[in-house]
Protein backbone atom coordinates (compact mmCIF):
# COMPACT_ATOMS: atom_id res chain seq x y z
CA UNK A 1 0.00 0.00 0.00
CA UNK A 2 2.78 2.43 0.90
CA UNK A 3 4.87 4.03 -1.82
CA UNK A 4 8.09 5.16 -0.09
CA UNK A 5 8.94 7.57 -2.91
CA UNK A 6 5.74 9.57 -2.40
CA UNK A 7 6.31 9.59 1.36
CA UNK A 8 9.92 10.79 1.02
CA UNK A 9 9.02 13.48 -1.51
CA UNK A 10 6.30 14.85 0.79
CA UNK A 11 8.89 15.40 3.53
CA UNK A 12 10.08 18.45 1.56
CA UNK A 13 7.06 20.25 3.04
CA UNK A 14 8.41 19.59 6.53
CA UNK A 15 11.79 21.09 5.63
CA UNK A 16 10.12 24.26 4.35
CA UNK A 17 7.99 24.52 7.50
CA UNK A 18 11.09 24.21 9.71
CA UNK A 19 12.68 27.14 7.84
CA UNK A 20 9.54 29.24 8.38
CA UNK A 21 9.53 28.40 12.11
CA UNK A 22 13.21 29.40 12.37
CA UNK A 23 12.40 32.84 10.96
CA UNK A 24 9.34 33.24 13.22
CA UNK A 25 11.33 33.38 16.48
CA UNK A 26 10.81 36.63 18.38
CA UNK A 27 12.47 38.32 21.36
CA UNK A 28 10.79 38.46 24.77
CA UNK A 29 9.59 41.71 26.29
CA UNK A 30 11.86 43.27 28.92
CA UNK A 31 10.31 43.61 32.40
CA UNK A 32 8.91 46.89 33.69
CA UNK A 33 10.77 48.71 36.45
CA UNK A 34 9.16 50.05 39.62
CA UNK A 35 9.27 53.75 40.49
CA UNK A 36 8.78 53.28 44.26
CA UNK A 37 10.58 51.02 46.73
CA UNK A 38 8.29 48.41 48.32
CA UNK A 39 9.67 48.78 51.85
CA UNK A 40 6.28 49.91 53.16
CA UNK A 41 5.07 46.31 53.26
CA UNK A 42 5.29 44.96 56.81
CA UNK A 43 6.07 41.25 56.69
CA UNK A 44 5.82 40.73 60.46
CA UNK A 45 2.27 42.13 60.55
CA UNK A 46 1.20 39.94 57.62
CA UNK A 47 2.75 36.88 59.26
CA UNK A 48 0.96 37.57 62.55
CA UNK A 49 -2.35 38.06 60.70
CA UNK A 50 -1.87 34.75 58.89
CA UNK A 51 -1.30 32.86 62.14
CA UNK A 52 -4.19 34.55 63.92
CA UNK A 53 -6.73 33.86 61.14
CA UNK A 54 -5.55 30.26 60.68
CA UNK A 55 -6.08 29.65 64.42
CA UNK A 56 -9.43 31.46 64.52
CA UNK A 57 -10.78 29.71 61.39
CA UNK A 58 -9.04 26.30 61.29
CA UNK A 59 -11.74 24.56 59.21
CA UNK A 60 -12.90 26.77 56.36
CA UNK A 61 -14.34 24.55 53.63
CA UNK A 62 -15.77 26.51 50.69
CA UNK A 63 -19.27 27.78 51.46
CA UNK A 64 -19.07 26.86 55.16
CA UNK A 65 -20.01 29.10 58.04
CA UNK A 66 -16.34 29.72 58.82
CA UNK A 67 -15.76 30.74 55.20
CA UNK A 68 -18.63 33.25 55.40
CA UNK A 69 -17.37 34.63 58.73
CA UNK A 70 -13.91 35.09 57.27
CA UNK A 71 -15.45 36.92 54.30
CA UNK A 72 -17.08 39.29 56.80
CA UNK A 73 -13.71 39.87 58.49
CA UNK A 74 -12.09 40.75 55.13
CA UNK A 75 -14.97 43.09 54.29
CA UNK A 76 -14.63 44.92 57.60
CA UNK A 77 -10.84 45.29 57.17
CA UNK A 78 -11.27 46.73 53.67
CA UNK A 79 -13.81 49.28 54.95
CA UNK A 80 -11.51 50.35 57.76
CA UNK A 81 -8.76 51.03 55.20
CA UNK A 82 -11.07 53.23 53.12
CA UNK A 83 -11.66 50.91 50.13
CA UNK A 84 -14.89 50.81 48.15
CA UNK A 85 -16.21 47.41 49.20
CA UNK A 86 -18.59 45.09 47.40
CA UNK A 87 -19.71 41.69 48.70
CA UNK A 88 -21.58 39.33 46.38
CA UNK A 89 -22.89 35.77 46.70
CA UNK A 90 -23.53 33.14 44.04
CA UNK A 91 -24.12 29.41 43.73
CA UNK A 92 -21.22 27.30 42.47
CA UNK A 93 -20.00 23.73 42.18
CA UNK A 94 -17.23 22.98 44.65
CA UNK A 95 -15.34 19.91 45.82
CA UNK A 96 -18.07 19.56 48.46
CA UNK A 97 -20.93 19.85 45.97
CA UNK A 98 -23.19 22.86 45.26
CA UNK A 99 -22.55 25.69 47.72
CA UNK A 100 -23.26 29.41 48.08
CA UNK A 101 -19.95 31.22 47.67
CA UNK A 102 -19.14 34.82 48.53
CA UNK A 103 -16.64 37.17 46.90
CA UNK A 104 -15.41 40.34 48.62
CA UNK A 105 -13.75 43.07 46.54
CA UNK A 106 -12.18 46.32 47.67
CA UNK A 107 -11.31 49.03 45.13
CA UNK A 108 -8.89 51.97 45.28
CA UNK A 109 -9.65 54.40 42.47
CA UNK A 110 -6.73 55.46 40.25
CA UNK A 111 -5.93 58.53 38.18
CA UNK A 112 -5.97 56.80 34.78
CA UNK A 113 -8.23 54.15 33.21
CA UNK A 114 -7.45 50.51 33.83
CA UNK A 115 -7.07 48.39 36.94
CA UNK A 116 -4.63 45.97 38.54
CA UNK A 117 -6.37 43.07 40.25
CA UNK A 118 -4.87 41.15 43.19
CA UNK A 119 -6.72 37.94 44.08
CA UNK A 120 -6.34 35.66 47.11
CA UNK A 121 -8.52 32.77 48.28
CA UNK A 122 -9.50 32.37 51.92
CA UNK A 123 -10.87 28.77 51.93
CA UNK A 124 -8.96 25.53 52.38
CA UNK A 125 -9.67 21.83 52.16
CA UNK A 126 -7.19 21.14 54.98
CA UNK A 127 -7.71 21.90 58.65
CA UNK A 128 -5.37 24.61 59.86
CA UNK A 129 -3.31 25.13 56.69
CA UNK A 130 -1.58 28.37 57.66
CA UNK A 131 0.22 28.54 54.31
CA UNK A 132 -3.16 28.52 52.57
CA UNK A 133 -4.10 31.63 54.58
CA UNK A 134 -0.95 33.54 53.63
CA UNK A 135 -2.46 35.04 50.47
CA UNK A 136 -5.33 36.57 52.46
CA UNK A 137 -2.89 37.97 55.04
CA UNK A 138 -0.84 39.64 52.27
CA UNK A 139 -4.06 40.96 50.71
CA UNK A 140 -5.08 42.65 53.97
CA UNK A 141 -1.63 44.18 54.46
CA UNK A 142 -1.63 45.45 50.85
CA UNK A 143 -4.98 47.16 51.49
CA UNK A 144 -3.50 49.09 54.40
CA UNK A 145 -0.33 50.07 52.52
CA UNK A 146 -1.95 51.02 49.21
CA UNK A 147 -4.76 53.03 50.81
CA UNK A 148 -2.22 55.59 51.99
CA UNK A 149 -0.77 56.09 48.48
CA UNK A 150 -2.03 57.74 45.32
CA UNK A 151 -2.54 55.15 42.61
CA UNK A 152 -1.96 55.69 38.90
CA UNK A 153 -4.32 52.84 38.04
CA UNK A 154 -7.20 51.49 40.07
CA UNK A 155 -6.33 48.64 42.43
CA UNK A 156 -8.89 45.87 42.98
CA UNK A 157 -8.25 43.54 45.91
CA UNK A 158 -10.45 40.42 45.78
CA UNK A 159 -11.03 37.70 48.34
CA UNK A 160 -12.49 34.55 46.77
CA UNK A 161 -13.49 31.06 47.82
CA UNK A 162 -13.87 27.64 46.17
CA UNK A 163 -10.21 27.78 45.14
CA UNK A 164 -10.15 24.07 44.24
CA UNK A 165 -11.68 24.13 40.77
CA UNK A 166 -11.41 27.96 40.72
CA UNK A 167 -15.19 28.53 40.86
CA UNK A 168 -14.76 31.78 42.81
CA UNK A 169 -12.05 33.07 40.48
CA UNK A 170 -14.18 32.19 37.44
CA UNK A 171 -17.12 34.19 38.80
CA UNK A 172 -14.82 37.12 39.55
CA UNK A 173 -13.35 37.00 36.03
CA UNK A 174 -16.84 37.30 34.53
CA UNK A 175 -17.68 40.39 36.61
CA UNK A 176 -14.46 42.43 36.68
CA UNK A 177 -14.87 46.07 35.64
CA UNK A 178 -13.07 46.80 32.38
CA UNK A 179 -10.41 47.52 31.32
CA UNK A 180 -8.09 45.23 33.29
CA UNK A 181 -4.34 45.71 32.94
CA UNK A 182 -3.19 42.62 34.85
CA UNK A 183 -4.30 40.03 37.38
CA UNK A 184 -1.97 38.62 40.05
CA UNK A 185 -3.30 35.63 41.97
CA UNK A 186 -1.72 34.90 45.35
CA UNK A 187 -1.31 31.30 46.41
CA UNK A 188 1.10 30.04 49.07
CA UNK A 189 3.32 33.06 49.75
CA UNK A 190 4.74 31.95 53.11
CA UNK A 191 5.74 28.30 52.66
CA UNK A 192 9.38 27.29 52.80
CA UNK A 193 8.95 24.22 50.56
CA UNK A 194 9.48 25.91 47.18
CA UNK A 195 8.35 24.30 43.92
CA UNK A 196 9.03 25.89 40.55
CA UNK A 197 7.72 27.55 38.53
CA UNK A 198 6.77 30.10 41.17
CA UNK A 199 5.16 32.36 38.55
CA UNK A 200 2.51 30.19 36.86
CA UNK A 201 1.06 31.52 33.55
CA UNK A 202 -1.23 28.70 32.37
CA UNK A 203 -4.95 28.90 31.61
CA UNK A 204 -7.78 26.57 30.62
CA UNK A 205 -6.96 27.08 26.93
CA UNK A 206 -3.87 27.50 24.76
CA UNK A 207 -3.63 31.15 25.88
CA UNK A 208 -0.70 32.00 28.15
CA UNK A 209 0.03 35.10 30.22
CA UNK A 210 2.07 37.65 28.21
CA UNK A 211 5.86 37.57 28.68
CA UNK A 212 5.83 41.22 29.81
CA UNK A 213 3.76 40.39 32.90
CA UNK A 214 5.64 37.16 33.61
CA UNK A 215 9.04 38.82 33.37
CA UNK A 216 7.98 41.82 35.49
CA UNK A 217 6.77 39.58 38.33
CA UNK A 218 9.82 37.30 38.01
CA UNK A 219 12.23 40.25 38.23
CA UNK A 220 10.49 41.64 41.32
CA UNK A 221 10.51 38.18 42.91
CA UNK A 222 14.24 37.73 42.44
CA UNK A 223 15.03 41.21 43.72
CA UNK A 224 12.90 40.87 46.86
CA UNK A 225 13.33 37.19 47.79
CA UNK A 226 16.38 35.98 45.86
CA UNK A 227 14.22 33.18 44.37
CA UNK A 228 14.28 32.39 40.66
CA UNK A 229 10.80 32.08 39.22
CA UNK A 230 11.77 29.05 37.17
CA UNK A 231 10.21 27.87 33.96
CA UNK A 232 8.83 24.72 32.43
CA UNK A 233 10.91 22.93 29.82
CA UNK A 234 9.82 23.17 26.20
CA UNK A 235 8.28 19.72 26.54
CA UNK A 236 6.40 20.75 29.67
CA UNK A 237 5.12 23.90 27.97
CA UNK A 238 4.02 21.84 24.99
CA UNK A 239 2.06 19.44 27.20
CA UNK A 240 0.43 22.31 29.11
CA UNK A 241 -0.80 23.74 25.81
CA UNK A 242 -1.79 20.35 24.39
CA UNK A 243 -3.88 19.51 27.49
CA UNK A 244 -4.64 22.76 29.38
CA UNK A 245 -5.19 21.30 32.85
CA UNK A 246 -4.17 24.20 35.10
CA UNK A 247 -5.62 23.53 38.55
CA UNK A 248 -4.80 26.95 40.04
CA UNK A 249 -6.86 30.14 40.17
CA UNK A 250 -5.19 32.18 37.45
CA UNK A 251 -6.76 29.71 34.98
CA UNK A 252 -10.16 31.35 34.25
CA UNK A 253 -8.92 34.92 33.74
CA UNK A 254 -7.22 34.20 30.40
CA UNK A 255 -10.54 32.87 29.06
CA UNK A 256 -11.89 36.40 29.67
CA UNK A 257 -8.90 37.89 27.85
CA UNK A 258 -7.13 39.11 31.00
CA UNK A 259 -3.34 38.74 31.47
CA UNK A 260 -2.98 36.76 34.70
CA UNK A 261 -0.32 34.85 36.64
CA UNK A 262 -0.24 32.89 39.88
CA UNK A 263 2.45 33.79 42.42
CA UNK A 264 2.99 30.86 44.77
CA UNK A 265 5.93 29.25 46.52
CA UNK A 266 4.19 25.88 46.03
CA UNK A 267 3.80 26.42 42.30
CA UNK A 268 0.51 25.09 41.01
CA UNK A 269 0.19 22.56 43.86
CA UNK A 270 -1.88 23.03 47.02
CA UNK A 271 0.42 23.53 50.05
CA UNK A 272 0.50 20.77 52.64
CA UNK A 273 -1.64 21.21 55.77
CA UNK A 274 1.41 21.33 58.06
CA UNK A 275 3.81 23.09 55.69
CA UNK A 276 6.42 25.22 57.44
CA UNK A 277 6.02 28.96 56.98
CA UNK A 278 8.45 31.84 57.31
CA UNK A 279 8.03 35.49 58.22
CA UNK A 280 10.84 36.39 55.85
CA UNK A 281 9.16 34.48 53.04
CA UNK A 282 5.80 36.24 53.42
CA UNK A 283 7.56 39.60 53.68
CA UNK A 284 9.55 38.98 50.51
CA UNK A 285 6.50 37.87 48.54
CA UNK A 286 4.51 40.86 49.83
CA UNK A 287 7.20 43.26 48.66
CA UNK A 288 7.26 41.40 45.33
CA UNK A 289 3.56 42.13 44.80
CA UNK A 290 3.96 45.75 45.91
CA UNK A 291 6.91 46.30 43.52
CA UNK A 292 4.96 44.68 40.67
CA UNK A 293 1.97 46.96 41.30
CA UNK A 294 4.28 49.98 41.20
CA UNK A 295 5.92 48.81 37.95
CA UNK A 296 2.60 48.05 36.24
CA UNK A 297 1.08 51.33 37.38
CA UNK A 298 3.93 53.40 35.96
CA UNK A 299 4.53 51.29 32.86
CA UNK A 300 2.74 50.89 29.56
CA UNK A 301 -0.10 48.65 28.52
CA UNK A 302 0.21 44.93 29.19
CA UNK A 303 -0.75 42.91 26.08
CA UNK A 304 -3.51 40.29 26.29
CA UNK A 305 -2.71 36.60 26.73
CA UNK A 306 -1.58 34.72 23.64
CA UNK A 307 -0.34 31.29 22.61
CA UNK A 308 3.41 30.72 22.35
CA UNK A 309 6.40 28.66 23.50
CA UNK A 310 9.48 30.07 25.24
CA UNK A 311 12.77 28.56 24.04
CA UNK A 312 16.31 29.81 24.62
CA UNK A 313 15.05 33.30 25.44
CA UNK A 314 12.97 33.42 22.26
CA UNK A 315 9.25 33.11 21.58
CA UNK A 316 7.75 30.62 19.10
CA UNK A 317 4.27 31.85 18.13
CA UNK A 318 1.30 29.51 17.92
CA UNK A 319 0.83 30.01 14.16
CA UNK A 320 4.36 28.69 13.51
CA UNK A 321 3.67 25.57 15.60
CA UNK A 322 0.37 25.09 13.76
CA UNK A 323 2.14 25.30 10.40
CA UNK A 324 4.86 22.85 11.43
CA UNK A 325 2.38 20.30 12.78
CA UNK A 326 0.32 20.48 9.59
CA UNK A 327 3.48 19.99 7.53
CA UNK A 328 4.26 16.86 9.58
CA UNK A 329 0.77 15.49 8.95
CA UNK A 330 0.86 16.09 5.19
CA UNK A 331 3.35 13.29 4.21
CA UNK A 332 1.27 10.66 6.00
CA UNK A 333 -1.94 12.05 4.55
CA UNK A 334 -0.60 11.99 0.97
CA UNK A 335 0.78 8.45 1.40
CA UNK A 336 -2.59 7.35 2.83
CA UNK A 337 -4.59 8.82 -0.08
CA UNK A 338 -2.25 7.15 -2.57
CA UNK A 339 -2.51 3.89 -0.64
CA UNK A 340 -6.31 4.04 -0.71
CA UNK A 341 -6.25 4.29 -4.49
CA UNK A 342 -3.85 1.34 -4.71
CA UNK A 343 -5.87 -1.01 -2.51
CA UNK A 344 -9.08 -0.12 -4.34
CA UNK A 345 -7.50 -0.93 -7.70
CA UNK A 346 -6.42 -4.31 -6.34
CA UNK A 347 -9.94 -5.26 -5.29
CA UNK A 348 -9.69 -4.66 -1.52
CA UNK A 349 -12.59 -3.15 0.36
CA UNK A 350 -12.08 -0.05 2.46
CA UNK A 351 -15.52 1.18 3.57
CA UNK A 352 -16.32 -1.92 5.61
CA UNK A 353 -13.00 -1.60 7.43
CA UNK A 354 -13.65 2.06 8.18
CA UNK A 355 -16.82 0.88 9.92
CA UNK A 356 -14.78 -1.75 11.75
CA UNK A 357 -12.27 0.83 13.01
CA UNK A 358 -15.03 3.22 14.10
CA UNK A 359 -16.80 0.35 15.86
CA UNK A 360 -13.73 -0.05 18.08
CA UNK A 361 -14.33 3.55 19.26
CA UNK A 362 -17.85 2.79 20.52
CA UNK A 363 -16.87 1.55 24.05
CA UNK A 364 -14.90 4.74 24.79
CA UNK A 365 -17.63 6.97 23.33
CA UNK A 366 -20.20 5.18 25.49
CA UNK A 367 -18.09 5.92 28.58
CA UNK A 368 -18.03 9.62 27.64
CA UNK A 369 -21.81 9.69 27.17
CA UNK A 370 -22.25 7.80 30.44
CA UNK A 371 -20.35 10.51 32.34
CA UNK A 372 -22.54 13.20 30.77
CA UNK A 373 -25.65 11.20 31.64
CA UNK A 374 -24.56 10.68 35.26
CA UNK A 375 -24.00 14.43 35.56
CA UNK A 376 -27.45 15.22 34.17
CA UNK A 377 -29.25 12.86 36.57
CA UNK A 378 -27.26 14.16 39.54
CA UNK A 379 -25.22 11.02 40.23
CA UNK A 380 -22.07 13.16 39.88
CA UNK A 381 -22.93 16.18 42.02
CA UNK A 382 -19.33 17.19 42.75
CA UNK A 383 -18.06 18.69 39.50
CA UNK A 384 -16.09 21.93 39.97
CA UNK A 385 -15.43 23.90 36.77
CA UNK A 386 -11.78 22.88 36.56
CA UNK A 387 -9.26 20.13 37.29
CA UNK A 388 -8.53 19.20 40.90
CA UNK A 389 -5.02 18.40 42.07
CA UNK A 390 -4.33 15.20 43.95
CA UNK A 391 -3.59 17.20 47.13
CA UNK A 392 -7.24 18.28 47.35
CA UNK A 393 -9.02 15.41 45.58
CA UNK A 394 -11.20 13.24 47.78
CA UNK A 395 -11.98 9.71 46.61
CA UNK A 396 -15.17 8.52 48.26
CA UNK A 397 -16.98 5.24 47.75
CA UNK A 398 -19.20 6.79 45.09
CA UNK A 399 -16.19 8.05 43.12
CA UNK A 400 -14.53 4.63 43.20
CA UNK A 401 -17.80 2.94 42.20
CA UNK A 402 -18.24 5.28 39.24
CA UNK A 403 -14.67 4.72 38.03
CA UNK A 404 -15.04 0.94 38.31
CA UNK A 405 -18.45 1.09 36.61
CA UNK A 406 -17.05 3.04 33.68
CA UNK A 407 -14.23 0.51 33.35
CA UNK A 408 -16.72 -2.36 33.29
CA UNK A 409 -18.81 -0.49 30.71
CA UNK A 410 -15.78 -0.21 28.42
CA UNK A 411 -14.93 -3.91 28.84
CA UNK A 412 -18.48 -5.23 28.34
CA UNK A 413 -19.22 -2.96 25.39
CA UNK A 414 -15.90 -4.01 23.82
CA UNK A 415 -17.03 -7.64 24.04
CA UNK A 416 -20.37 -6.73 22.48
CA UNK A 417 -18.71 -4.78 19.66
CA UNK A 418 -16.39 -7.70 18.97
CA UNK A 419 -19.36 -10.06 18.83
CA UNK A 420 -21.26 -7.95 16.31
CA UNK A 421 -18.40 -6.56 14.21
CA UNK A 422 -14.96 -8.03 14.80
CA UNK A 423 -15.71 -11.75 14.98
CA UNK A 424 -17.26 -11.88 11.52
CA UNK A 425 -14.52 -9.85 9.91
CA UNK A 426 -11.53 -11.39 11.70
CA UNK A 427 -10.70 -13.95 9.05
CA UNK A 428 -13.25 -13.47 6.27
CA UNK A 429 -12.67 -13.12 2.55
CA UNK A 430 -14.26 -10.57 0.29
CA UNK A 431 -17.10 -11.83 -1.85
CA UNK A 432 -16.54 -11.38 -5.58
CA UNK A 433 -18.34 -8.36 -6.98
CA UNK A 434 -19.40 -7.30 -10.50
CA UNK A 435 -17.21 -4.70 -12.13
CA UNK A 436 -18.88 -1.90 -14.14
CA UNK A 437 -22.13 -3.84 -14.32
CA UNK A 438 -20.55 -6.73 -16.25
CA UNK A 439 -20.76 -10.36 -15.35
CA UNK A 440 -17.05 -10.89 -14.88
CA UNK A 441 -15.94 -10.59 -11.30
CA UNK A 442 -12.99 -9.31 -9.40
CA UNK A 443 -10.51 -11.90 -8.26
CA UNK A 444 -11.10 -13.04 -4.70
CA UNK A 445 -8.55 -11.41 -2.38
CA UNK A 446 -7.80 -11.83 1.34
CA UNK A 447 -10.02 -9.50 3.34
CA UNK A 448 -9.28 -9.95 7.02
CA UNK A 449 -7.84 -7.64 9.67
CA UNK A 450 -4.35 -8.06 8.21
CA UNK A 451 -5.37 -7.04 4.69
CA UNK A 452 -4.22 -3.81 2.99
CA UNK A 453 -7.85 -2.60 3.00
CA UNK A 454 -7.97 -2.68 6.80
CA UNK A 455 -4.64 -0.84 7.04
CA UNK A 456 -5.78 1.84 4.60
CA UNK A 457 -9.01 2.31 6.56
CA UNK A 458 -7.12 2.68 9.84
CA UNK A 459 -4.77 5.33 8.46
CA UNK A 460 -7.68 7.19 6.85
CA UNK A 461 -9.57 7.42 10.17
CA UNK A 462 -6.39 8.34 12.03
CA UNK A 463 -5.54 11.15 9.59
CA UNK A 464 -9.08 12.57 9.68
CA UNK A 465 -9.27 12.64 13.49
CA UNK A 466 -5.78 14.15 13.72
CA UNK A 467 -6.80 16.96 11.36
CA UNK A 468 -9.94 17.54 13.46
CA UNK A 469 -7.80 17.82 16.61
CA UNK A 470 -5.35 20.09 14.73
CA UNK A 471 -8.11 22.54 13.85
CA UNK A 472 -8.95 22.90 17.54
CA UNK A 473 -5.52 22.60 19.14
CA UNK A 474 -2.30 22.15 17.10
CA UNK A 475 -0.30 21.29 20.23
CA UNK A 476 -2.57 18.32 20.95
CA UNK A 477 -2.37 17.23 17.31
CA UNK A 478 1.42 17.29 17.56
CA UNK A 479 1.21 14.38 20.01
CA UNK A 480 -0.39 12.36 17.19
CA UNK A 481 2.36 13.06 14.67
CA UNK A 482 4.71 10.38 16.01
CA UNK A 483 1.90 7.81 15.91
CA UNK A 484 0.98 8.75 12.33
CA UNK A 485 4.50 8.24 11.00
CA UNK A 486 5.30 5.15 13.10
CA UNK A 487 2.02 3.33 12.51
CA UNK A 488 2.06 4.03 8.79
CA UNK A 489 5.05 1.67 8.55
CA UNK A 490 3.15 -1.02 10.44
CA UNK A 491 0.14 -1.18 8.10
CA UNK A 492 1.58 0.41 4.97
CA UNK A 493 4.11 -2.00 3.43
CA UNK A 494 2.93 -4.81 1.20
CA UNK A 495 4.92 -7.27 3.32
CA UNK A 496 3.91 -6.52 6.91
CA UNK A 497 6.57 -6.17 9.57
CA UNK A 498 7.26 -9.04 11.91
CA UNK A 499 5.54 -8.84 15.30
CA UNK A 500 8.54 -7.55 17.37
CA UNK A 501 9.13 -4.60 15.04
CA UNK A 502 5.42 -3.85 14.79
CA UNK A 503 5.07 -3.86 18.59
CA UNK A 504 8.10 -1.56 18.90
CA UNK A 505 6.58 0.97 16.47
CA UNK A 506 3.24 0.68 18.29
CA UNK A 507 4.86 1.74 21.57
CA UNK A 508 6.82 4.50 19.83
CA UNK A 509 3.51 5.99 18.66
CA UNK A 510 2.01 5.69 22.16
CA UNK A 511 5.05 7.26 23.86
CA UNK A 512 3.91 10.94 23.66
CA UNK A 513 0.57 10.11 25.26
CA UNK A 514 2.23 8.05 27.99
CA UNK A 515 4.68 10.87 28.75
CA UNK A 516 1.81 13.38 28.92
CA UNK A 517 -0.04 11.16 31.43
CA UNK A 518 3.07 10.69 33.57
CA UNK A 519 3.85 14.42 33.43
CA UNK A 520 0.43 15.48 34.71
CA UNK A 521 0.38 12.70 37.29
CA UNK A 522 3.61 14.16 38.67
CA UNK A 523 2.64 17.84 38.40
CA UNK A 524 -0.83 17.40 39.90
CA UNK A 525 -0.01 14.58 42.30
CA UNK A 526 -2.44 12.06 40.79
CA UNK A 527 -2.50 8.28 40.92
CA UNK A 528 -4.27 5.95 38.47
CA UNK A 529 -7.68 6.00 40.22
CA UNK A 530 -7.53 9.66 41.22
CA UNK A 531 -6.43 10.56 37.69
CA UNK A 532 -9.40 8.69 36.22
CA UNK A 533 -11.77 10.38 38.69
CA UNK A 534 -10.25 13.78 37.87
CA UNK A 535 -10.93 13.13 34.17
CA UNK A 536 -14.54 12.24 35.03
CA UNK A 537 -14.94 15.47 37.01
CA UNK A 538 -13.45 17.60 34.24
CA UNK A 539 -15.80 16.06 31.67
CA UNK A 540 -18.81 16.36 33.98
CA UNK A 541 -17.93 19.94 34.96
CA UNK A 542 -17.43 21.09 31.36
CA UNK A 543 -13.72 21.84 31.64
CA UNK A 544 -13.07 19.16 29.00
CA UNK A 545 -15.52 19.35 26.10
CA UNK A 546 -17.56 16.36 24.94
CA UNK A 547 -16.36 16.96 21.38
CA UNK A 548 -12.70 16.67 22.40
CA UNK A 549 -13.48 13.58 24.47
CA UNK A 550 -15.16 11.90 21.47
CA UNK A 551 -12.19 12.77 19.24
CA UNK A 552 -9.79 11.09 21.64
CA UNK A 553 -12.21 8.15 21.86
CA UNK A 554 -11.68 7.68 18.13
CA UNK A 555 -7.91 7.74 18.71
CA UNK A 556 -8.23 5.02 21.36
CA UNK A 557 -10.38 3.00 18.98
CA UNK A 558 -7.62 3.26 16.36
CA UNK A 559 -5.11 1.95 18.92
CA UNK A 560 -7.33 -1.07 19.62
CA UNK A 561 -7.77 -1.71 15.88
CA UNK A 562 -4.03 -1.52 15.29
CA UNK A 563 -3.35 -4.02 18.07
CA UNK A 564 -5.85 -6.44 16.49
CA UNK A 565 -4.17 -5.98 13.10
CA UNK A 566 -0.76 -6.77 14.57
CA UNK A 567 -2.16 -9.89 16.25
CA UNK A 568 -3.89 -11.04 13.06
CA UNK A 569 -0.76 -10.44 10.98
CA UNK A 570 1.30 -12.48 13.43
CA UNK A 571 -1.22 -15.33 13.33
CA UNK A 572 -1.49 -15.40 9.56
CA UNK A 573 0.66 -18.22 8.22
CA UNK A 574 3.59 -17.01 6.19
CA UNK A 575 4.20 -18.82 2.90
CA UNK A 576 6.86 -21.52 3.19
CA UNK A 577 10.16 -20.70 1.58
CA UNK A 578 10.66 -22.77 -1.58
CA UNK A 579 14.27 -23.52 -2.51
CA UNK A 580 15.34 -21.88 -5.77
CA UNK A 581 16.12 -24.46 -8.46
CA UNK A 582 15.93 -22.28 -11.55
CA UNK A 583 17.87 -19.08 -11.97
CA UNK A 584 15.57 -16.11 -12.08
CA UNK A 585 15.63 -12.57 -13.39
CA UNK A 586 18.14 -11.37 -10.82
CA UNK A 587 20.82 -13.32 -12.67
CA UNK A 588 21.49 -14.14 -16.29
CA UNK A 589 19.11 -16.78 -17.67
CA UNK A 590 19.96 -16.53 -21.38
CA UNK A 591 21.94 -18.78 -23.71
CA UNK A 592 24.85 -20.42 -22.03
CA UNK A 593 23.41 -20.21 -18.53
CA UNK A 594 22.98 -23.98 -18.25
CA UNK A 595 25.61 -25.24 -20.68
CA UNK A 596 28.10 -24.40 -23.39
CA UNK A 597 26.91 -22.94 -26.73
CA UNK A 598 28.61 -22.10 -29.92
CA UNK A 599 30.11 -18.67 -30.16
CA UNK A 600 28.04 -16.14 -32.09
CA UNK A 601 31.15 -14.43 -33.41
CA UNK A 602 31.85 -15.03 -37.06
CA UNK A 603 35.15 -16.51 -37.78
Give the model confidence (pLDDT) of 19-40 as tens digits.
Answer: 999 999 888 888 888 777 788 8
Q: What is the mean pLDDT of the chain?
A: 84
Tell me what pLDDT residue 184 has: 95
Q: What is the mean pLDDT of residues 560-573?
A: 80
Q: Compute the average pLDDT of residues 251-257.
A: 85
What's the confidence (pLDDT) of residue 522? 81
Confidence of residue 383 (pLDDT cuts 50, 70, 90): low
Nearest CA to 369 out of 406, 404, 400, 403 is that of: 406
Number of residues assigned to the chain: 603
pLDDT at 590 over 90: no
Residue 443 pLDDT: 45
Cβ neighbors of 448 (< 8 A, separation 6 or more) are 425, 426, 427, 428, 429, 454, 568, 572
Neighbours of 393 (CB within 10 A): 24
- Find out whether 218 and 132 touch, Cβ atoms under 8 Å: no
In this predicted structure, what is the pLDDT of residue 594?
53
**pTM (predicted TM-score):** 0.83
User: What would the pLDDT profile of 178-191 be if each residue is shown by its tens digit?
Assistant: 889 999 999 899 98
Burial class for 503, CB neighbours closer than 10 Å (0-12, 13-18, 19+)? middle
Q: How far apart are the first and last CA of the chain?
A: 54
Q: How far is CA 535 from CA 410, 505, 543, in A?
A: 15, 28, 9
Q: Biggest alpha carbon distance in the chain?
A: 126
**Listing from the earlier edge strand, what are the strands of the sheet with 97-108?**
84-94, 97-108, 153-160, 112-121, 182-186, 260-263, 199-200
**Helix, coil or strand: residue 93:** strand
| CA–CA gap between residue 507 and residue 524 (Å, rounded) | 25
**Choice between 60 and 349, residue whose per-residue pLDDT is larger:** 60
Q: Give the mean pLDDT of 477-498.
A: 86
Amino acid sequence: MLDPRIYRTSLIVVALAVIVVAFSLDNQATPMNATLTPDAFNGSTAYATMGSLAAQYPSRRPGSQADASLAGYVEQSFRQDGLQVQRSAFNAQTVDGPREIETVTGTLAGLTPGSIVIVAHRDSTHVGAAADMSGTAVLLELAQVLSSQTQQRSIVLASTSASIGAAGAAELARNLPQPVDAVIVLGDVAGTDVRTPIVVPWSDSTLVAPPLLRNTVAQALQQQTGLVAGEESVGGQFLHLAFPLAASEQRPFAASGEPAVLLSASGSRVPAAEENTSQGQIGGFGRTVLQTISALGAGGTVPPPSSYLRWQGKLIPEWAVRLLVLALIVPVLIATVDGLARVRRRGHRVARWVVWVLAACIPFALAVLAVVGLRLVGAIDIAPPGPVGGDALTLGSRAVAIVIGLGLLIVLSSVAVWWFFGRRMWSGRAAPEPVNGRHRRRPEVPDDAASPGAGAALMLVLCVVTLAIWLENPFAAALMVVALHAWLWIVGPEQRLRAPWAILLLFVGLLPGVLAALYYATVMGLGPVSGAWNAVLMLAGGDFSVTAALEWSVVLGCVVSLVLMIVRTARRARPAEVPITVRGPISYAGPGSIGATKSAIRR
